[in-house]
């Protein structure tokens, strides 16, 4: 058995600490200070750093953590990750023996060219690709790549817990309601998210079932989303990738 704890960093980052009573793995430590404090408070021995992509707000704490502890650093093989010891690609597995946890590696390019996710124990650590009710910006990939990556994640079991790395949910829900105003599940989710944020509570993890019911970027084949994207584009969009690309561009300026 293990717990997954969010350590807050910067304005809206979450650094996920997967731990039992003694050992911890650290997902995307953009900053080291809060992580070190949590490890000390809980008397945890870190056994691994797991990076999903190269952006500094996900890797900036690697060097400092390694000055305090000796442990492997996992991350995408095709990106520059500070202090990387184990470059990973799809079909690789990270075996965390101390946590009795195996994490499968998935290639999910789009946000960055080499972005990866970790999946195991009914938990998905997906960095900046899939967000609660949203998805990441496309910086280094294409709309086709990002759409394919999101579909890959959506194919995981519905009860998968989604641990993304930013508290963007309220803004994402506001956009989703603009796009799909008549979705009753989304309307209820908005009420719950607003209450959580009013009390400064994390809105994560989400579940894939909830994402498939409310996340516009996972619903690009649905008539309501096709119609909304087509209206915004000023022309009829026929295929899900075109709908996705239009929604992503719309969100960029929302």
Per-residue pLDDT of 182-206, as tens digits, reads: 999 999 999 999 999 999 999 999 9
Residues tagged active-site: 53, 55, 57-58, 111, 128, 166
pLDDT (0 to 100) of residue 1: 85
Q: What is the pTM of this model?
A: 0.97
Are 99 and 25 a contacting pair, CB within 8 Å? yes
> How would you classify residue 200: left for phi > 0, otherwise alpha for psi between -120 and 50, otherwise beta?
left
pLDDT (0 to 100) of residue 251: 98
Span 104-133, pLDDT tens digits = 999 999 999 999 999 999 999 999 999 999
Three-state DSSP state, 49: strand
Question: How many domains is the chain built from?
Answer: 1
Ranges of the chain with pLDDT below 50: none
CATH code, 48: 3.60.15.10
Q: Using CA atoms, how far apart are residues 184 and 204, in angstroms rounded to an integer? A: 20
> Residue 189: which domain range?
3-252
Q: Using CA atoms, how far apart are residues 63 and 240, in angstroms rounded to an integer? A: 41
Burial class (CB in 10 A: 0-12, 13-18, 19+), 100: exposed
């Amino acid at each position: 058995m293990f717990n997954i704890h969010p350590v807050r960093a910067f304005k809206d980052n979450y650094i996920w600490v997967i731990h039992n009573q003694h050992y911890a793995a650290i997902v995307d430590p953009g900053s080291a200070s809060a992580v070190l404090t949590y490890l000390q408070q809980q008397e945890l021995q870190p056994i691994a750093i797991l990076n999903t992509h190269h952006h500094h707000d996900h890797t900036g704490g690697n060097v400092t953590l390694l000055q305090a502890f000796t442990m492997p650093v996992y991350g995408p093989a095709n990106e520059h990750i500070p202090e990387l010891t184990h470059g990973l690609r799809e079909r690789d597995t990270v075996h965390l023996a101390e946590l009795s946890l195996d994490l499968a590696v998935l290639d999910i390019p789009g946000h960055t060219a080499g972005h990866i996710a970790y999946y195991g124990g009914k938990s998905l650590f997906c960095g900046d690709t899939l967000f609660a009710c949203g998805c990441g910006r496309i910086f280094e990939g294409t709309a086709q790549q990002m759409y394919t990556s999101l579909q890959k994640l959506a194919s995981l079991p519905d009860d998968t817990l989604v641990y993304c790395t930013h508290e963007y949910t309220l803004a994402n829900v506001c956009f989703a309601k603009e796009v799909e105003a008549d979705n009753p599940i989304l309307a209820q989710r908005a009420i719950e998210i607003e209450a959580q944020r009013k009390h400064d509570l994390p809105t994560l993890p989400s579940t894939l079932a909830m994402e498939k019911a409310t996340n516009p970027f996972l619903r690009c084949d649905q008539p309501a989303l096709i119609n909304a994207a087509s209206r915004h584009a000023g022309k009829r969009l026929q295929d899900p990738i075109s709908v996705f690309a239009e929604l992503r561009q719309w969100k960029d300026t929302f």
